[in-house]
């Protein structure tokens, strides 16, 4: 059980860590604003992070909600098998971990879309949306 919680906890942060590393690929060929690509990428990265709040808040909120649901379902199933407390703990861990990971994935998608929109609106062509 403890190793399951540790795995979910660590995997949720590994998923969120990629938020800061991804940068869209801009095609400089025939780009009238090619001289501004690096500056625009830097500024758009900051703006995209503001849009998502870094992605961690959404994951934590969703994780807390799913932990409560998981604990409730786990308690019901656990009581059927004679151990409501263990069922609640396992359900809460699985629900919370799943919510954190799901929130991180959604936050990353929002981050990437905000980044792409910003760079595109500055007149650059993105190759890898």
Convert the pLDDT of each residue in 68-95 to its tens digit: 666 666 666 666 666 667 666 676 666 6
Task: Please tell me the predicted confidence (pLDDT) of residue 87.
Answer: 65
Task: Please tell me the predicted confidence (pLDDT) of residue 53.
Answer: 72
Domain count, the chain: 1
Query: What is the DSSP code (8-state) at residue 124?
Result: P
Q: Is residue 114 part of a domain?
A: yes
The Cβ of residue 99 has, within 10 Å, a number of other Cβ atoms equal to 25
Long-range contacts of range 29-38, CB-CB < 8 Å, 24 or more positions apart? 31/123, 31/124, 31/125, 32/123, 33/122, 33/123, 33/124, 36/122, 37/124
**pTM (two decimals):** 0.58
Residue scoring higher pLDDT (35 or 102): 35
Task: Please tell me the predicted confidence (pLDDT) of residue 107.
Answer: 76
Q: Is residue 77 part of a domain?
A: yes
Q: Is residue 3 part of a domain?
A: no
Among residues 40, 41, 11, which one has the least CA distance to residue 103? 11
Q: Is residue 92 part of a domain?
A: yes
Q: Is residue 87 part of a domain?
A: yes
In the predicted model, what is the mean pLDDT of the chain?
Answer: 73
67, 95 Cβ separation under 8 angstroms: yes
Q: Is residue 26 part of a domain?
A: no
Q: Is residue 69 part of a domain?
A: yes
Distance CA 122, CA 53 (A): 22
pLDDT band at 42 (very low <50, low <70, confident <90, very high): very high
Q: Is residue 66 part of a domain?
A: yes
């Amino acid at each position: 059980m403890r190793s399951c919680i540790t795995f979910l906890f660590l995997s949720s942060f590994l998923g969120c860590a990629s938020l800061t590393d991804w940068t869209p690929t801009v095609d400089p060929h025939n780009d009238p604003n090619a001289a501004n690509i690096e500056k625009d990428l830097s500024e758009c990265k900051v703006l995209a992070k503001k849009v998502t709040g870094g992605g961690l808040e959404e994951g934590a909120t969703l994780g807390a909600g799913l932990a409560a649901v998981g604990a409730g379902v786990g308690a019901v199933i656990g009581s059927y098998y004679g151990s409501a407390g263990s069922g609640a703990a396992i359900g809460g861990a699985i629900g919370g971990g799943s919510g954190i990971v799901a929130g991180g994935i959604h936050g990353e998608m929002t981050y990437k879309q905000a980044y792409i929109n910003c760079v595109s609106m500055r007149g650059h062509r993105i190759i890898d949306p």
